[in-house]
Chain A
Amino acid sequence: MRENLEPLASDGDGFVLDPQDRRAIEQERRHYEQPQAACIEALKIVQRRHGWVPDGAIVAIAETLGIGPASVEGVATFYSLIFRQPVGRHVILICDSSVCFLTGFEPLHAALAGQLGIDFGQTTDDGRFTLLPACCLGACDGAPALMIDDDTYATVAAEDLATLLEAYP
């Protein structure tokens, strides 16, 4: 099995796991009985540095944790907040669940998609924003809600979007 992994690792896409990230991943694995458990956090660690998870990172994480790359890829492709293709500098998550739907998600989505010239799953040409739908963000008392990177905004109206987006160059 190992022999089959080696060529992949060197092919990768020239990806090199940052030493600091490797240490952070090794630190994470101490929280669990089995190294596999640290792979979601490992993917997030890589993503924080690179914005997304390139192919080579899958192999590098697998080697760091001593598990198969298929296990890491299976996980990476399951979770909605792990990005297996490049995204913009800022990721916008709009809540499209029931309460936001009742309070203005559709016009908000239309306005945002119109202003950015993209729809769900797409990135603006300047590489600035990626737009994604999100499960209920747990901000229903402030619906409609959206997140830009780590920031959650409530009672967002279409007129607010231009000002909000300015803060994310």
Chain B
Amino acid sequence: MTATRYRSRLHQAGGERRLETHPLTWWLRDDGERVDLDDYVAKDGYGVVRQVLGHQTPDAVIETLKAANIRGRGGGGFSAGVKWSLTLKGEEVPRGYLVCNADEMEPGTFKDRLLLEQLPHLLLEGMILGGYANAAYYGYIFLRGEYVAAAQALERAIEEARAAGWLGRDIAGSGFDFDIALHTGAGRYICGEETALINSLEGQRANPRAKPPFPGQSGAWGKPTVVNNVETLCNVPAALRFGADWYQGLSGERSDDGGTKLYGVSGQVRRTGLWELPMGTPAGELLDRAGGLRDDRTLKAWLPGGGSTGFLLPEHLDLALDFDTIGKAGSRLGTGLLTLVADDQSLVALVRNLEEFFARESCGWCTPCRDGLPWAVELLRALERGEGQPGDIERLEALAADQGPGKTFCAHAPGAAMPLASAIHFFRDEFARGIAGAREEGG
């Protein structure tokens, strides 16, 4: 029997990690058990809360983070410091919310689970600092319902932190009050979109909201609301502990994006997994760490960071895995967890699978997404059966263009368009072989 209970794990063992080089994972135990409050505090956990609260102004915290350039690790890549600088604050503004997006559902992504299950106190510390910087009075962790072990780990961590005075009134004698509640979801990928997430938090259907107003101006219950990904928030404590120059130095010459990244590899490779590496690590290095493809197959294509990113080719393996470099190559870094595809895999079938996912998970709010994605699925199924009609590929391209940014409320449809458009761009011949009659003609 090959089936096992799933356990999240990092490939790098404790001896290979130091706080100064692995600020996200240094704390992890080698046995994969949760780092509890005692473990965490023994390694100066919550030390940054003590260092910052009451000693630095929220504006000073935000300036450090802007200089560090922590880019949104949920896939958006927006600077957390800039986002926080745009949150409405002031005596005339009601204090709002700091929301952690722990709705990890992007196909191919399994990084936040590790932090949530094994290192919940690092997230809580990041959230307390985020609450302080954004003048929030309350934090929510929006966790996907299927992450049962993470829910237990977070509940226990919240209780421990509250009992020790790291949550609640007058944290560390600073006069700052902040508490956190866990909110577990009930399915639907769209909840990861930040305005849909806010609707879901409010107990509504998870349809996205129009922007502006941005959540930082008017979010949950009309109050300023900041939504950050788990990994983003986990970057905050060390960036404040050691400063922006250190954070930038972590990635050094590799990337202008600072810090480290939880990179991962899965798909048709020998050794799947997660590694914490400097931001800007080349994709090829990750493929080497994964031991290459299974069964000595060769690489056909890869997705840099989930189902909503565009396909890239073997020739792109030298690229630094950071937001700007992958963006310039026509894709997106997304979550930074690579999906590798072997040469004998039909791209038409894989894209069909991806578009089925996006069609099913569309919330139905916007016409191009609700109606366009099922249409794309129908065309792809026909091509896969070899029953496509002349003009189908052009129709798919037009559908992808209609999903583009600005045509719908949120990024769901543009995300669905990326793998579709890029697959046609790079593998047009393969799609053309799905047109009826093409196979007999020796195509």
Which B1-29 residues have C-beta < 8 A from chain A? Answer: 1-9
Does B1 contact A102, Cβ atoms closer than 8 Å? no
Q: How many angstroms between the C-alpha atoms of A2 and B334 in the bound complex?
A: 48
Does A138 contact B113, Cβ atoms closer than 8 Å? yes
Q: From A146, which residue of chain B is reached at the shortest CB distance?
A: B3
Report the minimal beta-carbon distance from B19 to chain A, rounded to whole angstroms: 25
Q: Which of A6-14, A71-79, A123-131 is near enough to bind chain B?
A: A71-79
Does B186 contact A98, Cβ atoms closer than 8 Å? no
Q: How many angstroms between the C-alpha atoms of A93 and B3 in the bound complex?
A: 15
Does A40 contact B186, Cβ atoms closer than 8 Å? yes
B264 lies within 8 A of chain A by Cβ? yes
Complex interface: chain A residues within 8 A of B272 (CB):
140-143
Q: How many angstroms between the C-alpha atoms of A33 and B220 in the bound complex?
A: 9
Does A157 contact B2, Cβ atoms closer than 8 Å? yes
Does A140 contact B337, Cβ atoms closer than 8 Å? yes
Q: How many angstroms between the C-alpha atoms of A163 and B1 in the bound complex?
A: 9
Complex interface: chain B residues within 8 A of A143 (CB):
266-267, 272
Does B110 contact A140, Cβ atoms closer than 8 Å? yes
Does B203 contact A160, Cβ atoms closer than 8 Å? no
Does A78 contact B353, Cβ atoms closer than 8 Å? no
Q: How large is the interface on A (under 10, 10 to 19, 20 to 34, 35 or more residues)?
A: 35 or more
B206 lies within 8 A of chain A by Cβ? yes
Which B177-235 residues have C-beta < 8 A from chain A? Answer: 181, 183-189, 200-206, 220-221
Q: How large is the interface on B (under 10, 10 to 19, 20 to 34, 35 or more residues)?
A: 35 or more
Does B200 contact A141, Cβ atoms closer than 8 Å? no
Complex interface: chain B residues within 8 A of A3 (CB):
none
Does B189 contact A135, Cβ atoms closer than 8 Å? yes
Which B332-353 residues have C-beta < 8 A from chain A? Answer: 337, 339, 341, 345, 350, 353
Neighbour of B203 across the interface among A34, A133, A154, CB < 8 A: A34
Given contacts A99-B107, A101-B353, contact A79 B188 (CB under 8 A): yes
Neighbour of A136 across the interface among B107, B203, B206, CB < 8 A: B107
Complex interface: chain B residues within 8 A of A139 (CB):
6, 8, 110, 113
A145 lies within 8 A of chain B by Cβ? yes
Q: How many angstroms between the C-alpha atoms of A99 and B267 in the bound complex?
A: 5
Q: From B364, which residue of chain A is reached at the shortest CB distance?
A: A78
Does A134 contact B264, Cβ atoms closer than 8 Å? no
Report the minimal beta-carbon distance from B423 to chain A, rounded to whole angstroms: 12
Does A101 contact B350, Cβ atoms closer than 8 Å? yes
Given contacts A136-B105, A141-B274, contact A150 B201 (CB under 8 A): no
Complex interface: chain B residues within 8 A of A32 (CB):
202-203
Q: How many angstroms between the C-alpha atoms of A93 and B186 in the bound complex?
A: 13
Complex interface: chain A residues within 8 A of B350 (CB):
98, 101-102
Q: How many angstroms between the C-alpha atoms of A67 and B350 in the bound complex?
A: 44
Does B266 contact A141, Cβ atoms closer than 8 Å? yes
Q: From A79, which residue of chain B is reached at the shortest CB distance?
A: B186
Does B273 contact A97, Cβ atoms closer than 8 Å? no
Complex interface: chain A residues within 8 A of B3 (CB):
153-157, 160, 163-164
**13 intermolecular pairs with C-beta atoms under 8 Å apart:** A33-B221, A36-B204, A37-B203, A39-B203, A96-B356, A97-B108, A99-B339, A102-B341, A135-B189, A136-B108, A142-B6, A152-B148, A153-B6
Residues of chain A at the chain B interface (Cβ within 8 Å)? 31-41, 43-44, 71, 74-75, 78-82, 93, 96-99, 101-103, 133-143, 145, 147, 150-157, 159-160, 163-164
Besides A32-B202, A99-B107, 6 other A-B contacts (C-beta < 8 A): A79-B187, A96-B353, A136-B106, A140-B107, A140-B272, A155-B2
